[in-house]
Protein backbone atom coordinates (compact mmCIF):
# COMPACT_ATOMS: atom_id res chain seq x y z
CA UNK A 1 0.00 0.00 0.00
CA UNK A 2 1.34 3.42 -0.93
CA UNK A 3 1.76 6.49 1.17
CA UNK A 4 -1.22 8.74 1.97
CA UNK A 5 -1.15 12.54 1.72
CA UNK A 6 -3.70 15.37 1.70
CA UNK A 7 -4.08 19.15 1.71
CA UNK A 8 -4.35 20.61 5.20
CA UNK A 9 -6.94 22.90 6.71
CA UNK A 10 -5.95 26.19 8.38
CA UNK A 11 -7.04 25.25 11.89
CA UNK A 12 -4.76 26.00 14.86
CA UNK A 13 -6.00 22.88 16.63
CA UNK A 14 -3.50 20.32 17.98
CA UNK A 15 -0.80 19.78 15.32
CA UNK A 16 -0.98 16.01 15.87
CA UNK A 17 -4.51 15.79 14.47
CA UNK A 18 -4.92 14.94 10.76
CA UNK A 19 -6.10 18.44 9.71
CA UNK A 20 -7.83 17.24 6.57
CA UNK A 21 -9.96 19.57 4.50
CA UNK A 22 -13.69 18.83 4.44
CA UNK A 23 -14.24 17.20 2.06
CA UNK A 24 -10.82 15.60 2.02
CA UNK A 25 -8.51 16.67 -0.83
CA UNK A 26 -6.06 13.82 -1.37
CA UNK A 27 -2.61 14.31 -2.86
CA UNK A 28 -1.28 11.50 -5.03
CA UNK A 29 2.23 10.11 -5.02
CA UNK A 30 2.47 11.47 -8.54
CA UNK A 31 1.92 15.00 -7.21
CA UNK A 32 4.47 14.47 -4.45
CA UNK A 33 6.98 13.32 -7.06
CA UNK A 34 6.51 16.61 -8.88
CA UNK A 35 7.59 18.41 -5.70
CA UNK A 36 10.74 16.29 -5.55
CA UNK A 37 9.55 13.96 -2.79
CA UNK A 38 10.96 10.44 -3.22
CA UNK A 39 9.40 7.41 -1.57
CA UNK A 40 10.05 3.72 -1.00
CA UNK A 41 8.04 1.07 0.86
CA UNK A 42 10.24 -1.44 2.68
CA UNK A 43 10.00 -4.19 5.27
CA UNK A 44 10.99 -2.46 8.51
CA UNK A 45 11.04 -5.76 10.41
CA UNK A 46 14.28 -6.70 8.66
CA UNK A 47 15.90 -3.27 8.43
CA UNK A 48 19.17 -4.46 9.99
CA UNK A 49 19.79 -6.93 7.16
CA UNK A 50 17.44 -5.77 4.43
CA UNK A 51 19.06 -6.14 0.97
CA UNK A 52 16.60 -3.65 -0.52
CA UNK A 53 17.61 -0.97 2.02
CA UNK A 54 21.27 -1.80 1.50
CA UNK A 55 20.87 -1.34 -2.25
CA UNK A 56 19.08 1.99 -1.84
CA UNK A 57 21.84 3.23 0.45
CA UNK A 58 24.47 2.19 -2.07
CA UNK A 59 22.60 3.68 -5.03
CA UNK A 60 21.86 6.97 -3.29
CA UNK A 61 25.12 7.30 -1.37
CA UNK A 62 23.49 7.28 2.08
CA UNK A 63 26.66 6.57 4.02
CA UNK A 64 25.52 7.92 7.41
CA UNK A 65 22.81 6.31 9.53
CA UNK A 66 21.46 6.65 13.04
CA UNK A 67 18.16 5.85 14.77
CA UNK A 68 16.01 8.19 16.83
CA UNK A 69 13.06 7.25 19.03
CA UNK A 70 10.64 10.12 19.51
CA UNK A 71 8.64 9.42 22.63
CA UNK A 72 8.11 11.43 25.79
CA UNK A 73 10.02 9.08 28.09
CA UNK A 74 12.94 8.43 25.71
CA UNK A 75 13.73 11.73 23.98
CA UNK A 76 15.46 14.39 26.12
CA UNK A 77 13.74 17.80 25.99
CA UNK A 78 10.78 16.13 24.29
CA UNK A 79 8.39 19.11 24.18
CA UNK A 80 11.13 21.49 23.08
CA UNK A 81 12.25 19.14 20.32
CA UNK A 82 8.70 18.68 19.01
CA UNK A 83 8.23 22.42 18.88
CA UNK A 84 11.51 22.81 17.01
CA UNK A 85 10.64 20.04 14.53
CA UNK A 86 7.31 21.75 13.75
CA UNK A 87 8.86 25.12 12.89
CA UNK A 88 8.67 25.66 9.14
CA UNK A 89 12.19 25.32 7.78
CA UNK A 90 14.45 24.04 5.02
CA UNK A 91 17.79 22.26 4.83
CA UNK A 92 20.74 22.66 2.50
CA UNK A 93 20.71 18.89 1.92
CA UNK A 94 18.00 16.30 1.35
CA UNK A 95 16.20 15.04 4.44
CA UNK A 96 15.91 11.23 4.46
CA UNK A 97 13.80 9.39 7.04
CA UNK A 98 12.80 5.73 7.33
CA UNK A 99 10.01 4.89 9.78
CA UNK A 100 10.90 1.70 11.65
CA UNK A 101 7.94 1.80 14.03
CA UNK A 102 5.06 4.07 15.00
CA UNK A 103 3.62 6.92 12.96
CA UNK A 104 4.31 10.57 12.17
CA UNK A 105 3.59 13.39 9.73
CA UNK A 106 5.77 15.37 7.37
CA UNK A 107 4.20 18.59 6.05
CA UNK A 108 5.56 20.12 2.83
CA UNK A 109 4.67 23.23 0.87
CA UNK A 110 3.46 22.84 -2.69
CA UNK A 111 4.34 25.23 -5.50
CA UNK A 112 1.43 27.46 -4.49
CA UNK A 113 2.64 27.57 -0.89
CA UNK A 114 -0.17 25.35 0.41
CA UNK A 115 0.50 22.77 3.09
CA UNK A 116 0.40 19.08 2.20
CA UNK A 117 0.42 16.54 5.04
CA UNK A 118 2.19 13.22 4.41
CA UNK A 119 1.24 10.38 6.76
CA UNK A 120 4.24 8.22 7.58
CA UNK A 121 3.98 4.72 9.04
CA UNK A 122 6.15 1.65 9.54
CA UNK A 123 8.11 0.76 6.41
CA UNK A 124 7.91 4.20 4.77
CA UNK A 125 11.19 5.72 3.58
CA UNK A 126 10.98 9.28 2.30
CA UNK A 127 13.36 11.88 0.91
CA UNK A 128 12.51 15.57 1.01
CA UNK A 129 14.62 17.61 -1.44
CA UNK A 130 17.01 20.27 -0.24
CA UNK A 131 15.37 23.70 -0.33
CA UNK A 132 11.76 22.58 0.22
CA UNK A 133 9.90 24.21 3.12
CA UNK A 134 8.65 21.53 5.48
CA UNK A 135 8.03 20.54 9.10
CA UNK A 136 7.58 17.37 11.16
CA UNK A 137 5.28 16.23 13.95
CA UNK A 138 4.08 13.10 15.67
CA UNK A 139 0.46 12.09 15.24
CA UNK A 140 -1.90 11.37 18.13
CA UNK A 141 -0.11 8.12 18.98
CA UNK A 142 2.81 10.24 20.24
CA UNK A 143 5.46 7.76 19.11
CA UNK A 144 7.72 6.97 16.23
CA UNK A 145 11.09 5.32 15.72
CA UNK A 146 12.98 6.47 12.65
CA UNK A 147 16.24 5.89 10.84
CA UNK A 148 17.97 9.06 9.73
CA UNK A 149 20.09 8.76 6.60
CA UNK A 150 22.55 11.21 5.11
CA UNK A 151 25.03 11.54 2.27
CA UNK A 152 28.38 11.97 4.02
CA UNK A 153 28.68 13.59 7.42
CA UNK A 154 25.32 14.73 8.83
CA UNK A 155 24.50 18.42 9.01
CA UNK A 156 21.46 18.99 11.21
CA UNK A 157 21.22 22.75 10.72
CA UNK A 158 17.70 23.94 9.90
CA UNK A 159 16.96 27.36 8.39
CA UNK A 160 13.59 28.62 9.57
CA UNK A 161 11.38 30.47 7.14
CA UNK A 162 12.01 33.02 5.69
CA UNK A 163 15.09 31.51 4.07
CA UNK A 164 14.50 32.48 0.45
CA UNK A 165 17.93 34.09 0.14
CA UNK A 166 19.72 30.75 0.21
CA UNK A 167 20.92 29.45 -3.14
CA UNK A 168 19.49 25.99 -2.50
CA UNK A 169 16.02 27.48 -2.04
CA UNK A 170 16.31 29.45 -5.25
CA UNK A 171 17.46 26.35 -7.11
CA UNK A 172 14.57 24.34 -5.74
CA UNK A 173 11.99 26.94 -6.77
CA UNK A 174 13.50 27.25 -10.24
CA UNK A 175 14.03 23.55 -10.78
CA UNK A 176 12.27 21.75 -13.60
CA UNK A 177 13.45 18.25 -12.74
CA UNK A 178 11.57 15.25 -14.03
CA UNK A 179 10.67 12.11 -12.15
CA UNK A 180 9.93 8.52 -13.06
CA UNK A 181 9.42 5.13 -11.46
CA UNK A 182 12.00 2.39 -11.58
CA UNK A 183 10.90 -1.12 -10.66
CA UNK A 184 13.46 -2.90 -8.52
CA UNK A 185 15.01 -6.02 -10.04
CA UNK A 186 13.21 -8.29 -7.55
CA UNK A 187 9.86 -6.54 -8.24
CA UNK A 188 9.47 -5.97 -4.48
CA UNK A 189 9.23 -2.20 -4.52
CA UNK A 190 9.47 0.93 -6.60
CA UNK A 191 11.83 3.83 -6.31
CA UNK A 192 11.66 7.36 -7.66
CA UNK A 193 14.63 8.81 -9.49
CA UNK A 194 15.09 12.54 -9.87
CA UNK A 195 17.03 13.65 -12.94
CA UNK A 196 18.72 16.96 -13.57
CA UNK A 197 17.39 18.65 -16.67
CA UNK A 198 20.93 18.82 -18.05
CA UNK A 199 20.88 15.06 -18.63
CA UNK A 200 20.09 13.83 -22.10
CA UNK A 201 17.23 11.50 -21.09
CA UNK A 202 13.77 12.82 -21.77
CA UNK A 203 10.93 11.50 -19.63
CA UNK A 204 7.65 13.24 -18.98
CA UNK A 205 6.56 13.72 -15.41
CA UNK A 206 4.92 10.59 -14.07
CA UNK A 207 6.06 8.26 -16.82
CA UNK A 208 6.84 4.68 -15.89
CA UNK A 209 9.65 2.51 -17.01
CA UNK A 210 11.79 -0.37 -15.91
CA UNK A 211 15.53 -0.49 -16.30
CA UNK A 212 16.42 -2.63 -19.31
CA UNK A 213 18.55 -5.55 -18.15
CA UNK A 214 21.34 -4.48 -20.45
CA UNK A 215 21.68 -1.08 -18.79
CA UNK A 216 23.99 -0.72 -15.78
CA UNK A 217 22.36 0.04 -12.44
CA UNK A 218 24.35 3.28 -12.25
CA UNK A 219 22.34 4.57 -15.21
CA UNK A 220 19.62 5.32 -12.68
CA UNK A 221 21.66 6.75 -9.82
CA UNK A 222 20.52 10.04 -8.42
CA UNK A 223 22.82 12.86 -9.58
CA UNK A 224 24.87 14.25 -6.69
89 a known binding residue?
yes
Of 211, 172, 161, 174, the closest CA to residue 191 belongs to 211
Residue 19 assigned as binding residue: no
Which residue, 177, 223, 185, is CA-closest to 203? 177
The CA distance from 137 to 47, in Å, is: 23
Please give the annotated binding residues, written as ranges.
Answer: 89, 91, 95, 134
Binding site for Ni(2+), by residue number, is 89, 91, 95, 134
Binding site residue list for Fe(2+): 89, 91, 95, 134
Amino acid sequence: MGIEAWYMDSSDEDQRKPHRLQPNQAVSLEELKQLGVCYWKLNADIYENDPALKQIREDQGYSYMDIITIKKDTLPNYEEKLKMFFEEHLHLDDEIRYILDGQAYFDVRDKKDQWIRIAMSKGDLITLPAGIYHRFTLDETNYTKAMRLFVGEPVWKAYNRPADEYEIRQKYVASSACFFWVLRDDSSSYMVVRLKRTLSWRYSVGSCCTRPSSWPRDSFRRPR
